[in-house]
Structure 1
């Protein structure tokens, strides 16, 4: 992103909103140039449509620009650090059994809107629905049939940085796969072990393809 556009984003983040006139003075560039940069940022979904702001004195109304929610993703976040500290605190305060109960509760919440296996479904329908749900949750999942059965690949771990220190999250994913498919899987690849994905094998002797 060009530096002037980044400066515009920074100013809007600091002030909440700003007019073309304000941005022009702050950046020492013409109003025409400011409008061009704003048009580009709007086309990229980073700046909202301008809101009319009445002047305190007489004169033409001004148009104030602000950032979209998408633009917020451009700024550093500390979600992983906060989550890691919370998990560390939980483990420091509770014993293993209580920690496991907490993670089981998290899994139930995650599964609250999940599709459940239905009698009469084909295996293909069951795996298609499971993968669709996983993709909605950011796992970048797919499944394939191989000689040993069916393998579900999750190519993105939504909490990879945390899972390396907190394997309970990996166990939660394992149980998630089991609940979605109705079959007990076997983890054959693991991102935290250096593999490109977490992959789960459901052996062919469990069902008939």
Structure 2
């Protein structure tokens, strides 16, 4: 009796959507028909997946004429959120650039770059915190702004002591390679709040969060 080959695992909707995003990225004219042909599924099925991806904000549809002529047709394109689903080497590029800055301009060059960025960001934060004189309100407002930048920040008080935490680091690989980034952040909070600020935990050192003690 012959050995039966294991059945191929069924294609999940999530896998189909992932393949569909790849097809849109690769296709010069990503119409529903072209995408259905490329993935080997029916047009009604592909339209359901396309609608799901539009609802998720990963695709948008445009009306274009093929080659600038002929009847208009609906063409699907990736949004910024759709592009973000593909792997990016931004962290590696950033580390490489900073490494070259350090090699070309000396050990203090990276810190000077970080300080320049810190001063610019400090101006942005200061304008958003203007009008908050109370420390609690100021830290809560600061945490809200940091969340907009992807830091997953939170301000809270414990036994009369204020803390600011960040559960996400937008550039963990860079922070690990160049601790000057974390030092610039600590200096930023000290200058912005005009109070003593100390760091008690750090994501890039393996902690679950960056935690700052304020005041």
Shared fold, TM over 0.5: yes
Are the structure 2 counterparts of residues 30 and 115 from structure 1 closer, same or farther at C-alpha, using a change threshold of 3 Å? same
> Measured at CA, do residues 133 and 56 of structure 1 come closer, stay the same or move farther in structure 2, by a change above 3 Å?
closer
User: Residue 149 of structure 1: which of 129, 137, 161 is its match?
Assistant: 161
CA contact (8 A) 2:136 2:162 kept: no
Correspondence for 1:187: 199
Contact 1:54/1:62 (8 A) holds in 2: yes
Does residue 15 (structure 1) correspond to residue 27 (structure 2)? The answer is yes
Q: Secondary structure at the match of 1:114?
A: helix
Runs of 4+ in structure 1 over 4 Å off: 54-58, 116-120
Query: Over the residues paired in the alignment, what is the CA RMSD in angstroms?
Result: 2.5
Secondary structure of the 2:60 match is coil
- Looking at structure 1, the residues matched to 131 and 52 of structure 2 have their Cα atoms a distance apart, in angstroms, of 52
Q: Would the aligned equivalents of 2:132 and 2:138 in 1 still touch at CA under 8 Å?
A: no
**5+ long unaligned stretches in structure 2:** 1-12
TM-score (norm 1): 0.84
Q: C-alpha displacement at 1:93, in angstroms?
A: 1.2
1:96 match: secondary structure: coil
State the number of aligned residues.
202
- Relative to the length of structure 2, the TM-score reads 0.82
Moved more, 96-105 or 47-56: 47-56
> Equivalent residue for 2:57?
45
